Amino acid sequence: MNDMTIGAGIEEAGAKESFTLAAGLSTEPVPVDSYISPDFFELERKRVFGRAWLFVGRVDQLPEENSYFVKEIDICKASVLVTRNEAGKVQAFHNVCSHRGNLVVNDDCGTKKRFRCEYHNWTYQNDGALIGVPDQKNFFNLDKKKCGLTPIATGVWEGWIFVNMQREPEISLEEFLGPYGKAYAGVPFGEDHETLVIEARFNANWKLIMDAFAESYHVPAIHPGTLAPGFANPVHNKYARPLSGNTFGLHAAWSAYGNPEYAPPPDSEVERIACKIDTGGLLGSDVNDEVLRLRAHPAINPTKESCWSADVTSIFPNFNIDYSTGGYWTHEFWPLSRDATHWILTIRIPKASSVRHRLQLEHYAARWAEIVLEDVTNCERIQKGLESGAKDVMILQDGEFMIRHMQETLRKWVNAETVADAMK
């Protein structure tokens, strides 16, 4: 393997421009109050989650006419019903009955054209219209037209469904996604993928786990066995430095190095058996058509390094889409309270095609579960450390530029009276 193919120069200071400076970010220490302050959390609830566009699901979850699913957004105290009607329109509603406020749909997902509230049997169509009221005559001038389900502003970008909890959003989804939406438009997603989901609830601020995916600096230390061998290289990239880093308005992305010399160690016999087919990146598949199409997109691996393994892209405030050689994965980082988080990691991978392939997927899933465990336990330790009040600031290096960008963006949204101010 010659140096040209393995990202020559990433180890040399100054060989690449600073991501932090290029993004116009400060280089000063960053206050840590946003992880521990109850007042800050209340402002996040109102001014960030109450005004930003939030990811709720992918169109695949509405595979046919009259499909629906329910998404609980605890931070907004909202139960959100997302439907697709016969015309294909995707629309979210508050899952709340107009009669006396009961939740209307109590299962997670399915196919239904009509929803009946179980309290007094008021019935709604999947476009929100109220179509049935038992003993209607006993009401006083009931205008059914005014009593539909309350719609929530809904937008779909590249198959990802977003909602905005403001009654009248101050900003459109398109404006909100801004340059990110343009840069990542048309990235090909694999077909016929299946879904692997790992979920964790733990006692730490939601941004701590988000931060853990904003940088690879921690990989050699926290993930020595699970990730480091594939994402660092003792000679060429000892500290797992990113290959590139960019900001896109509110959003940001970095490219992860993948060790091109990685092979299962000689005594990792199960890994050898499982990876006999489809070898390649530690978490990935080999260079198949799907990967080639992905790599051809200008936004993916923007510096076009051959030692690229994944792009981590972060959509403000709490959603990551990560494109990798082995499919793609998403993260939802949902705050439950100031110091409790629900993290949903959804991984889309090719469906098992043989017994050996299925074993490989189990190995992949098992490795991910270990990584998640390593990160979750680590986040709880950070929360403890920060709660002590020992430190007022954190000190970030260049590879951690995305944490800095998030902190600056968040602070703007928290401090701004209007979204227009926050966007300045």
Least Å distance between CB 97 and another protein? 18
The closest of 418, 411, 421 to 40, measured between CA atoms, is: 411
Question: Which among ligand FES, Fe ion, another protein, none contacts residue 58 (Cβ within 5 to 8 A by kind)?
Answer: another protein
CA dist 96 and 132 (Å) reads 15
Q: Pattern 141-180, binding to another protein, x per CB under 8 A?
A: ----------------------------------------
Binding mask 342-361 toward another protein (x if CB under 8 A, else -) reads x-x-x-xx-xx-xxx-xx-x
Residue 7 neighbours by CB under 8 Å, 6+ apart: 236, 237, 243, 257, 305, 306, 307
Cα–Cα distance for residue pair 361/365, rounded to 1 Å: 6
CB 96, min distance to ligand FES, A: 9
Please report, as residue ranges, which positions from 253 to 312 form the binding site for ligand FES (by CB under 6 A): none
Q: Does 196 bind another protein (CB under 8 A)?
A: yes
Minimum distance of another protein from residue 56's CB (angstroms): 9
| Binder of another protein out of 32, 75, 104, 274 (CB under 8 A) | 274
The answer to whether 240 contacts Fe ion (rule: CB under 5 A) is: no
Of residues 124 and 319, the one with the C-beta less far from Fe ion: 319
Tell me which residues in 214-243 interact with another protein (CB under 8 A). Answer: 224-226
Q: How far is the CB of 152 from another protein (least distance, A)?
A: 16
96 near ligand FES, rule: CB under 6 A: no
Kindly report the backbone phi and psi dihedral angles of residue 379, in degrees, each rounded to the nearest multiple of 5, phi listed first. Answer: -60, -40
Q: How many residues bind another protein (CB under 8 A)?
A: 62
Please pick, from the candidates 339, 375, 398, 400, the single residue that binds Fe ion as defined by CB under 5 A. 375
| Interface pick for another protein out of 294, 372, 403, 406 (rule CB under 8 A) | 372
Considering only residues 200 to 219 of the shown chain, the ones binding Fe ion according to CB under 5 A are 212
List the x/- string, 81-110, binding to another protein by CB under 8 A. --------------------------xxx-
119 binds ligand FES (CB under 6 A): yes
Q: Of Fe ion, ligand FES, another protein, none, which one does residue 373 interact with (CB within 5 to 8 Å by kind)?
A: another protein
Which of 117, 152, 228, 396 contacts ligand FES by CB under 6 A?
A: 117
Residue 100 contacts which entry, another protein, Fe ion, ligand FES, none (Cβ below 5-8 A, type-dependent): ligand FES
Q: Rule CB under 8 A: is residue 9 a binding residue for another protein?
A: no
Q: Which is nearer to Fe ion, 305 or 375 (CB)?
A: 375
| Smaller CB separation from ligand FES, 100 or 384 | 100
CB of residue 414 vs ligand FES: minimum separation in angstroms?
36
Nearer to ligand FES, 60 or 118 (CB): 118
Q: Which of 213, 405, 232 has its CA nearest to residue 311?
A: 213
Return the HEC string of the chain. CCHHHHCCCCCCCCCCCCHHHHCCCCCCCEECHHHHCHHHHHHHHHHHHCCCEEEEEEHHHCCCCCEEEEEEEHHHCEEEEEEECCCCCEEEEECECCCCCCECCCCCEEECCEEECCCCCCEEECCCCEEECCCHHHCCCCCHHHCCCCEEEEEEECCEEEEECCCCCCCCHHHHHHHHHHHCCCCCCCCCEEEEEEEEEECCCHHHHHHHCCCCCCHHHHCCCCCHHHHCECCCECCCCCCEEEEECCEEEEEEECCCCCCCCCCCHHHHHHCCCCCCCCCCCCCCHHHHHHHHCCCCCCCCCCCEEEEEEEECCCEEEEEECCEEEEEEEEEEECCEEEEEEEEEEECCCCHHHHHHHHHHHHHHHHHHHHHHHHHHHHHHHHHCCCCCEECCCHHHHHHHHHHHHHHHHHHCCCHHHHCC
* First-last CA distance in the chain: 47
Under the criterion CB under 8 A, does residue 284 sit at the interface with another protein? no
Binding positions for another protein, rule: CB under 8 A = 57-58, 60-61, 63, 69-72, 107-109, 194-202, 224-226, 265, 267-271, 273-274, 330, 332, 334, 342, 344, 346, 348-349, 351-352, 354-356, 358-359, 361-367, 369-370, 372-374, 376-378
